[in-house]
Homo-oligomer: A and B are copies of this chain.
Amino acid sequence: MILINGQPENRIPVSDRGLQYGDGLFETLAFRNGELELLEQHIMRLQRGCKRINLSFQHVDSLRAELAMLCAQTAEDSVIKIILTRGSGGRGYKAPLENEAIRIISSHSMPEYPEANQSGVTVRLCEQRLGLNPTLAGLKHLNRLEQVLARSEWDDRTISEGLMLNINENLIEGTMSNLFIVKNQQLLTPALTQAGIAGIMRSKVMEIADSMSIACHEKALTVNDLLDADEVFLTNSIIKLWPVKTLLHNDTNTHWQHGALTQQIQNALKDLAH
């Protein structure tokens, strides 16, 4: 089911700037056990994103009501996607001055990931590099061609994710997830000042780490930092947390345990309604 500004509708005008220029933002949320997980955090990220791209988003309460309407029609656990676009109008790249964001919300079946992913997945390194773009870094905007190209590099279902470097060979994230490394009982995660998406689950993990007095540092990381890690895990709003057990890299495999600190974070993420 799809609602556009509250109306059941599965098509948008070709003139929508979301299509024409990728002029918009999105969010992907888990609807699990009758709850939209971390809804407030997702809404706050949308608001921050709108501010950064100068997109008016006054109708937050309408969005909440529409999400409730969508979820009421959704019996099972689902993925809920919110897209905000700048709508139609303007002249070429020049945006209309006063467009309120168009709200497109849709529900999708939850991906059927193997249960075994909870104890560890296999990942690869992508050839596709992330560009450097400080003004857009961190944002979950609609310009995602880099991720599409990275994700097209493999078709082997036993590989759950591809890790991406930026053009300076800094490790940034997975194609659809954020990356954490455990080293000496501390968490490290790539700084997202020049590339990458600052995930809601990434923030949640940092918040949990803080509440457990586990140090967590955002910093520039390389493949060597990864190879040198004690534990490795990935996060996003749908998977929550996947430990990484194997990295395929230059015909050699690197292995990690499903370690104690990863398990501690994973347990803390179990009940996530808020």
A residues contacting B by CB (< 8 A) are 2, 4, 9-23, 26, 53-54, 83, 85-86, 91-95, 97, 104, 106, 111, 128-129, 131-136, 141-152, 155, 167, 175-176
Contact = CB atoms under 8 A, between A and B. Distances in A.
A175 B11 contact: no
13 contacts: A11-B13, A14-B106, A16-B19, A20-B26, A21-B142, A21-B145, A21-B147, A21-B148, A53-B145, A95-B152, A97-B155, A132-B132, A135-B146
B83 A151 contact: no
B145 A142 contact: yes
Given A2-B14, A12-B11, A22 B93 contact: no
Contacts of A134: 129, 131, 167
A4 B14 contact: yes
A73 B95 CA distance: 28
Contacts of A2: 14
A156 to B, nearest CB: 12
B104 A14 contact: yes
Nearest to A104: B14
B131 A132 contact: yes
Contacts of A14: 2, 4, 9-12, 83, 104, 106
Nearest to A111: B91
Contacts of A176: 92-93
A110 to B, nearest CB: 12
A139 to B, nearest CB: 9
B21 A12 contact: no
A91 B154 CA distance: 13
